Amino acid sequence: MAIDTVIFDLGGVLIDWDPRRLYRRLFDEEAEVEHFLATVCTPAWSRTPAGRCARPPRRWWPSIRGTRR
């Protein structure tokens, strides 16, 4: 089946994307969420080539490991 329609949801009308909602499930404290977004999920990180990603601080590893499914 060929794709015949592509929808760009730039205004967040169809899909409400809030990265904080996702990261609140990974971190216990709101301050950790904000720190993660400010230091890891930056515009520069978004431009990182596929397959490369910033490594979170070791103290976050147990929280992150516990959420894998």
Report pLDDT for 69: 44
The pLDDT, as a whole number, for residue 29 is 93
Residue 47 domain flag:
yes
Number of domains observed in the structure of the chain: 1
pLDDT at 50: 60
Q: Is the pLDDT of residue 61 over 80?
A: no
Query: What is the Cα–Cα distance from 44 to 38, expressed in whole angstroms?
Result: 11
**CA distance readout (Å), 63 to 23, 46, 54, 68:** 11, 22, 16, 10
Indicate whether 2 belongs to any domain: no
- Cα–Cα distance list, 39 to 30, 34, 63, 67 (Å): 14, 9, 17, 21
Give the Cα separation of 46 and 66 in Å (integer). Answer: 24
pLDDT given at position 32: 92
Domain that holds residue 60: 19-65
Residue whose pair of structure tokens reads 């329609």 in the numeric block: 5
The predicted structure's pLDDT at residue 66: 57
The tens digit of pLDDT for each residue in 18-56 reads 889 989 998 999 999 999 888 888 777 666 666 555 666
